Structure formats: structure tokens, C-alpha cells
Structure 1
Amino acid sequence: MRDVLFLPFADGMELAVAADGSAAVGDKPADAVSAPVDVVAYFAVRVALMELLSVGAEAKAVVLQNFIADDRWEALCRGIRRACRELGIDLPITGSSESNFPTVQSALGVTAIGLVSAGRKRIGVTPDAAKFAVIGRPLVGPAVLAHSQWVAPLSLFVELLASPYIYELIPVGSKGIYYEWTQLLTANGRQWRSCACPLPLFASGGPATSVLVSYDPAGESKIKRQTGHLFFPLFAEQ
């Protein structure tokens, strides 16, 4: 359902694990998309951490798998630390690098590990009267860097997490807005319905450049002020 694995831990707590990967994006000649490796790591860990935090978990550590080259490790960590700063957290980083064989394209994986109370997961808590919106535009590939003004900032994501008017947040991934919409409905025990939104419903959301939210209608004006030009309403259709 959600892209987070939950494992029993202790004292009513569960381990929460979220991951993301990136391939053919980086600074190697054969890469499909050219980008600094620290930026690649930033957007990859952004996805994993947003997934983790959106279900109510507290992030504890990041695991990095570097398949680019051993000498890129520090640059990759720099991108991860940037995302952590923007989220207001400080996490230890561990992992490994491919140092035996050269690769012709960039590739990396990141895993975020956290803890969440088994009874307080932020899943399936959207009431029938809720309204819905997408914050940010779904972007992928070169568009992520070329149109950064449409990327939902992590600082805004933190504000939305703390908002008393927001019920659930779902980062929009490569399967698009409509897929995340159906996941949200399923988690809340509702039948699938069609929906309408000014944004393309089936376009890839890339590295979670946008977030689907359910919210209390009483807070709509405040949420719109917070999100400004990044607010796109999503309407359920009967």
C-alpha cells in the first residue's frame, strides 16, 4: 500500500523502512540525465525521508549504496546532509561503495530507517468530509532542475506535517497522482473513484516533487496561503 515497510520492534514501537534509488542520472558520460552527484543524492534521500516522515515515523538513520565510484562518497553524503538540514534533522549515514569495478552509468540507492508507534501511524486517518490537493507539480528528469519553482520544498513539507489541518500526506512517485490517490482511498477503506485535477494525473512524479494531501476544509484558506502557487485542488468525482 504505502512505500514503507513496518517491522515489530519493542514497547509498542515499529521499525519503519523506506527506500529510493536512482540510475542513469549523474556526472558520467553515459548518464541519460546530467546532474551533480550531490544533487542526485539529495533528491533520492528526499523521497525516502518524505515517505518515512509522512507516515508519522521519526527518522533515525540513512543507508547509502554508492554504485558510482568510491571517490563520490563524500559528495553523495553532502547531498543527504542537505536534505536533512532542510527537514530539521541530523542523521547518521552508513553504507558502502562499489570500489572493485568501474561503472559506465551512475547509480545509487538510499534507505531511511525510523521508528513509529504502532498505534499512531499516519495512515487511514482521513475522514469522509476531507478535501484533497496536490502540492507542487509532478516533474521528472531534466524538468526537476529546470523548473525548481514547481518543486514542493522540504521546508514546506515540514510545515504541512505539523499543520493541524492536514490528515495525510503521500509523496507522489513515478506512478503518478492517480495511483497515489487510489492508495489513499484504499487505506481509508473507500471505493476507487475518478478524480479531477489541473495537473496530469498519470505523469511521473519523479523524486517526489509533489505531495498529495487530505485536509480539513476548515483550514483550506490557511493551507492555500502556506503553499501559494504550489496548491492544486483535487476533486473526487462520483
Structure 2
Amino acid sequence: MEIKQIRDLTVISIDENRYLGIACDSCGGIGCKEHDVVKASPQLTAYQTGKVVLAELMSMGFTPMIMADGLAVEMNDTGKQLIEGFQEVLSKLSTKVHLTGSTEENIKTVQTSMGVTCIGICDKNKLKYKKTAENDVCMLLGLPLVGNDVVNNPEKILDVDDFETLYLCDFIKEIVPVGSRGTAAELEELCEYNQLNFKFKNNISVNLKNSGGPSCCCLITLEDNNIRMVSGLVNKPVEIIGTFY
């Protein structure tokens, strides 16, 4: 059994035709507890954290199957509210994903904290990795936001159903969710593993060093003749970043 790390996923070859993918994320200090730094509802916190692992899987071509949450909070009532958030984000998908998890019942907690893992499956010929070529265009969908900006600007960030829409588009070659490293770092890695260089478009409006928070935006690569098709896919900010060469 071959196990390898591809971007943020652990990818396991389970037979001649299929991969198993595992995505993980964590979140701490965001919620309604006494020592939470960013105040937000537990439902929203869980929704956005669950979105991250689902986005990471779908962006590589995987169909999510199981989500497991490790909640470092009590079941009553913070845990129940977090579970509501996970159930809501999963309800946005067209595929059924099983939810399981655990809570902390032995120690009183004063800050919201959790880890989330999601497992999916992908046909090997549908893996969205190392597909970008010379003259392809790179676009940024959504805006890189974090913390309170995520809470206050839902219309500017990608939702989980946006990622599902992108993952189902055959003309999109690669999808890269932007995380805490920022857009520039994700783009640099994308160029490196595709063995390409990149020419930035003039007057880019987005700060490419800003954290993408909970997958609030993503990079996509595609042929330039498909650019016009992107604007109708997601009702979020869209910007051309540049071209690969």
C-alpha cells in the first residue's frame, strides 16, 4: 500500500484504480467561550472548519465520505452547537457524508477548540494534481479573509457548495484552496510541482500575502478560452492573477 503526501492531503493507493484521501484541520480560540479571542457562534466556527477539509478533498478530485470531529469542549451545550454547524455544512453537498466524533467530558474547558478529519475517495484518472501547463491562466476566486473579517463578509468568501461546483467542472485543471500561508505561497508551490514559471498580471487588487483563513478563496488553473465560463460558476469575487509559462 503506497502512502504519500500531496499538498495538504494524505493520499493512499487502495487498488489499481482508486485513491483514499485524508484531510485534517484544527481551530482554536474562535467561539463563545470565556477565553475565545474571536467571538462567533459555535455553529459558524464548525461550519467554516468543516468547510476547510471538505474543500481540500474536493479540490483534489476526491468525493468526501466520512467526517470525524475531535471536540475539546463539553457536549452540553457547545458540542451540540458545533455538531449543528458540521451537519449544516454537510447538508450543502450533493453527496452523503457520515459524521462521527467525540467531546471532552472530564475537564472543564474555557476556550473553543477542535480538530476535524475528512476521508474521501477518488478515481486515479480524476486526481486534480500536476495538470497545469504552459499558457494556462491562474484565477483567484473569493477573497483571502481571516478572523472577524470572515464573520462580517460572507458574500466575499467561498462556500462549500462553491468548491463542489468547481470540483465538478472538467475544464478546471487544478484547484488550490488558500490557507494561512497566503495566495503567493500556494501559487509558488503550484508552479514548483508543475515545473512552471509565472507572469503576474498588472494591478492585482488582492494582497497575495494575506491569510486565506478557512479556505475563503482558492486558485484555479485553466486554459484561457475557458475564462468566460468561470464568472457564472460562483457568485463571489473573481480575479485573473496571471499566466504560467
Q: 2:119 aligns with which of 109, 113, 117?
A: 113
| Deviation string, structure 1 residues 178-231 (Cα, Å, up to 9, x no partner) | 01101211221224x463532111111000010111112111112123345510
| Structure 1 position 92, deviation (Å) | 1.2
Separation in structure 2 between the aligned mates of residue 89 and residue 26 of structure 1, nearest angstrom? 28
Query: Structure 1 residues 29, 178: closer, same or farther in 2, change over 3 A?
Result: same
Deviation at 1:169, TM superposition (A): 0.6
Q: Which residue of 1 aligns with 2:28?
A: 23
Corresponding residue SS for 2:231: helix
Whether 1:93 aligns to 2:99 is yes
User: Aligned to 1:184, which of 190, 194, 201?
Assistant: 190
Q: How far 1:164 moved relative to its partner?
A: 3.1
2:106 & 2:99 partners in 1: Cα distance?
22
Which residue of the partner structure matches residue 57 of structure 1?
62
Unaligned runs of 5+ in 2: 1-5
- The one-letter code of the counterpart of 1:57 is F
Residue 35 of structure 1 pairs with residue 25 of structure 2 = no
Query: Which segments of structure 1 move beyond 4 Å, counting only runs of 4 or more?
Result: none
Identity among equivalent pairs (%): 25
1:99-178 equivalences in 2 (<5 Å): 99-178=105-184
Task: Return 194-203 or 88-97, whichever deviates more.
Answer: 194-203
Contact 2:136 2:244 in 1 (8 A): no
CA contact (8 A) 1:165 1:218 kept: no
Change in CA separation of 1:237 and 1:215 when aligned onto 2, cut-off 3 Å: closer
| Equivalent residue, structure 2, for 1:195 | 200
What TM-score do the two structures reach when normalised by structure 1?
0.92
Instruction: Determine if contact 2:157/2:236 at 8 Å carries over to the other structure.
Output: no
Is the contact made by 1:81 and 1:90 (CA closer than 8 Å) also made in structure 2? no
Q: CA deviation at 1:162?
A: 2.0
Matched, 1:208 2:219: no
Q: Could you tell me the TM-score, scaled by structure 2's length?
A: 0.90
- 1:134 and 1:234 in contact (8 A); partners too: yes
Q: Look up the equivalent residue of 2:148 and give its one-letter code.
A: P
1: distance between equivalents of 2:95 and 2:244?
Answer: 39
Structure 1 CA distance for aligned equivalents of residues 200 and 10 of structure 2: 28
What residue identity is the alignment partner of 1:218? N
Aligned counterpart in structure 2 of residue 218 of structure 1, from 221, 225, 232? 225
> CA–CA distance in 1 between the matches of 2:156 and 2:32?
24
Shift of 1:143: 0.4
Deviates more, 1:1-10 or 1:57-66: 1-10
CA contact (8 A) 1:65 1:109 kept: yes
How many angstroms apart in 2 are the aligned matches of 1:209 and 1:2?
A: 17
